[in-house]
Amino acid sequence: MNRPASLSFSNLISLSLCPSTVQSQNLIADNVSVVEGDTATISCRVKNNDDSVIQLLNPNRQTIYFKDVRPLKDARFQLVNFSDNELRVSLSNVSLSDEGRYVCQLYTDPPQEAYADITVLIPPGNPIIESHEDIVREGNETEITCTSMGSKPAATIRWMKGDKELQGKSKVEATYDRMFTVTSWLRFTVTREDDGVPVVCIVDHPAVKDFQAQKYLEVQYKPEVTIKVEFPQGLIREGENLELTCQAKGKPQPHQVNWVRVDDDVPSHAVITGSDLFIENLNKSYNGTYRCVASNSVGETYADYILYVRDALTTTPKPTTTTTTISATTSPPDIIQDSQAGPEAQRLDHAVIGGVVAVVVFAMLCLLIVLGRYFARHKGTYFTHEAKGADDAADADTAIINAEGGHNNSDEKKEYYI
């Protein structure tokens, strides 16, 4: 490269020792990151240029462009813009060999330089996810590995299980060609809820987005057992029939389901059909704990049902109540009484008797009121000894004598009885 005479050897020494700053006085250049195979653009910009010459040098300090002339015979470099204030050049089909520091020079006194570092990004290959075992049993620990190879810079790896992020351990290895391989391990204890859940390895790199691989977990677990009462509903009483269904779910599916009675034998006339238990004509001797046991290759699980048979329903006779003033028979409706629900039945009987007594008392009060009003409206008439002959007698003795003589013309004296 031919340098102008104004650029002396001492100037070259001073330029090589100056720090790598993006801006030097009036000259500005920007760092560039570009994915391998894409196009990078280098811009040398000048503020308040006084017609000084701008040129662009490659990392080997070969002139790429001097003003708007390209001395370097590399057609991948193309002039994008040239003016007094800017020299902008594009580099197409960037490769790893193009990485380095590019120099913008401004021929002033003293000369100025600014640097544009080109960083070539190489995306990683497809991540590889592996596990030590394809099928894991509930409660065991599993390890899953994810590998990202051939990237620059080194990638980072994250883990997700379903919608929950997990923390793994990573290892970075540099290769001879300045690229990196990253390996990450994830260990955790599985549960039955993990069956069918995806474990995702996510690779983060500036050259790619949403780069990931996933693996679905397959977890084996013991049966989960529940007992369903088909009939009867509610309280169970003597004489009724009972049917229970054992529902068992596991992975693999349970291969055996058994019914047993804890601490005793199942009634002799009980019928067991697959997972169903049927007992007819119950009585209290059947009380106890009935157990459904299910098993598969992982293990065995059971569920219990406690049977408690109550007395059969009974009916109470109809109570009859009569009174002396009003001949009436009160017949309450039939009352179904549970032999074990004594307090409730007694409260019902007391309510009926109280109602009948209240009716009788009310009827007697009404009768007394009617009789009182009847006697009040009818007066009584009778003779008294004082009234007989009192008008013709001169004194009381004479009146009495006249009264004893039975004068018929004496006036009647009326009194009222209330």
Per-residue pLDDT reduced to its tens digit, 186-205:
999 999 999 999 999 999 99
Residue 374 domain-assigned (yes or no): no
Whether residue 234 has pLDDT greater than 80: yes
How many CB atoms sit inside 10 A of residue 112's CB? 20
Give 266's strand partners.
none
Residue with tokens 């580099």: 91
What is the distance of C-alpha 244 from the center of its chain?
Answer: 30
End-to-end CA distance of the chain, in Å? 154
Burial string for 338-355 (b: 16+ CB within 10 Å, else e) reads eeeeeeebeeeeeebeee
One domain for residues 206 and 293: no
314-323, 374-383, 399-408: which range is least confident on average? 399-408
| pLDDT band at residue 394 under the 50/70/90 scheme | low
Torsion over CA: 255, 261, 267, 268 (sign): positive
Whether residue 333 has pLDDT greater than 70: no
Q: Which of 89, 121, 153 is the last residue of a domain?
A: 121
Count the residues in the chain.
418
One domain for residues 199 and 233: no
CA distances from 258 to 245, 254, 267 (A): 11, 11, 15
One domain for residues 186 and 265: no
One domain for residues 227 and 277: yes
What is the average pLDDT across 163-184? 92
How many CB atoms sit inside 10 A of residue 25's CB? 15
One domain for residues 145 and 206: yes
Q: Which of 99, 121, 143 is the last residue of a domain?
A: 121
User: CB–CB of 213/130 below 8 Å?
Assistant: no
User: CB–CB of 65/77 below 8 Å?
Assistant: yes
Q: Residue 237 carries which DSSP code? A: B
Residue 330 domain-assigned (yes or no): no
One domain for residues 31 and 117: yes
| pLDDT band at residue 94 under the 50/70/90 scheme | very high
What is the average pLDDT across 289-296? 94
| pLDDT band at residue 263 under the 50/70/90 scheme | confident
Whether residue 325 has pLDDT greater than 70: no
Whether residue 18 has pLDDT greater than 70: no
Identify which has the larger pLDDT, 7 or 140: 140
CA distances from 106 to 57, 341, 404 (A): 11, 108, 173
Residue 58 domain-assigned (yes or no): yes
How many structural domains compose the chain?
3
pLDDT above 90 coverage of the chain, percent? 56
Per-residue pLDDT reduced to its tens digit, 49-68:
777 889 999 999 999 999 99
Residue 93 domain-assigned (yes or no): yes
Alpha-carbon distance of 254 to 250, in angstroms, equals 6
Residue 191 domain-assigned (yes or no): yes
State the CATH number of the domain containing residue 103. 2.60.40.10
Whether residue 389 has pLDDT greater than 70: no
Residue 116 domain-assigned (yes or no): yes
Residue 251 domain-assigned (yes or no): yes
User: CB–CB of 276/245 below 8 Å?
Assistant: yes
One domain for residues 114 and 92: yes
What is the average pLDDT across 262-274? 90
**The CA-based dihedral angle spanning residues 43, 47, 50, 53, taken in that order and rounded to the nearest 10 degrees:** -20
One domain for residues 197 and 231: no
What is the average pLDDT across 131-160? 94
Q: Which of 203, 220, 237 is the last residue of a domain?
A: 220
Please give the residue range of the domain that contains residue 239. 221-307
Alpha-carbon distance of 224 to 294, in angstroms, equals 8
DSSP 3-state helix, strand, coil percentages of the chain (rounded to 5)? 15, 45, 40
Alpha-carbon distance of 100 to 53, in angstroms, equals 23
- At 85, the amino acid letter reads N
Strand order in the sheet with 256-261: 256-261, 288-295, 300-307
Residue with tokens 């008797």: 353
One domain for residues 108 and 34: yes
Residue 382 domain-assigned (yes or no): no
Alpha-carbon distance of 67 to 174, in angstroms, equals 40
Residue with tokens 């009847």: 374
What is the reported pLDDT for 344? 47
